[in-house]
Copies of this chain bind each other. A is one copy, B any other.
């Protein structure tokens, strides 16, 4: 059973909400309305309030930053002999919209989220709700409680750090693989931009002779990686919607 147990939180009687939250979070919430807000997607908030200040978007802004801090410390402590390049890379594998969205569905947070009937289960709405929940815990109980929830309830049970380390970040090789599978031809057009000030490589990626993305970098390889990554980020969002 997943952490959030597949419960339709917003359909519960108010009396039960605190109990359910205690079960999930590991502590009894002091300010339940913060959690209500974290689970309220803007598609439903807008029905009542034009400004959408009642949706989870502000909490998501806060929670995104708090989560970044928690995850940073987690890796800082876990890998005492790794440099900041390694730490930045592994952090970005967790703190990104695809990973957080998938994680939120795995822990069952999607069932807690209240959306309008026609909201697509796509993009990053569940990952956003997860960030909003971290923001709510932070405001309700403070930094240490948010950290405890993330580490003890989420990372420990749902994230395989070794698997995260091996997550594909070579987007060019991913592109080559994708190209072979889909039998769609790709090509790069890379220019060296020399302007006397800051020289760099600019790369455009074509799929079947249609430009699909571009990227820049200090080397041809980096520019190609950037263009490939942009292609997949746009593409993955497209596939899910």
Chain A residues with CB under 8 Å of chain B are: 51-53, 57-58, 60-62, 64-66, 68-69, 71-73, 76, 81, 83-84, 87-88, 91, 138, 142-144, 193-198, 202, 207, 210-212, 214, 216, 234-235, 237-238
Give Cα A130 to B12, complex, Å: 47
Which single residue of chain B is at the shortest CB-CB distance from A71?
Answer: B65
* Known A202-B214, A211-B202, A214-B214: A51·B83 in contact at CB below 8 Å: yes
Give Cα A126 to B83, complex, Å: 19
Question: Which chain B residues border A196 with CB–CB below 8 Å?
Answer: 210
Chain B nearest CB from A59 CB (Å) reads 9
Question: Which chain B residues border A194 with CB–CB below 8 Å?
Answer: 210
Give Cα A57 to B81, complex, Å: 12
Give Cα A12 to B43, complex, Å: 59
- A61-B84, A198-B237 provided; 7 other pairs, C-beta below 8 A? A61-B76, A61-B87, A64-B72, A196-B210, A198-B212, A198-B234, A198-B235
Give Cα A76 to B65, complex, Å: 11
Question: Which chain B residues border A211 with CB–CB below 8 Å?
Answer: 193, 195, 202
Give Cα A52 to B106, complex, Å: 38
A69, A81, A83, A202 interface centre (most CB from chain B within 10 Å): A69
Give Cα A72 to B65, complex, Å: 7
Asked if A65 and B68 make an inter-chain contact with CB atoms under 8 angstroms apart, the answer reads yes
Question: Which chain B residues border A65 with CB–CB below 8 Å?
Answer: 65, 68-69, 71-73, 91
Give Cα A214 to B200, complex, Å: 11
Chain B nearest CB from A240 CB (Å) reads 13
Which single residue of chain B is at the shortest CB-CB distance from A196?
Answer: B210
A58, A81, A234 interface centre (most CB from chain B within 10 Å): A58
Question: Which chain B residues border A144 with CB–CB below 8 Å?
Answer: 143
* Known A58-B84, A66-B72, A235-B198: A214·B212 in contact at CB below 8 Å: no
Which single residue of chain B is at the shortest CB-CB distance from A81?
Answer: B53
Which single residue of chain B is at the shortest CB-CB distance from A61?
Answer: B84
Question: Which chain B residues border A73 with CB–CB below 8 Å?
Answer: 62, 65-66, 138
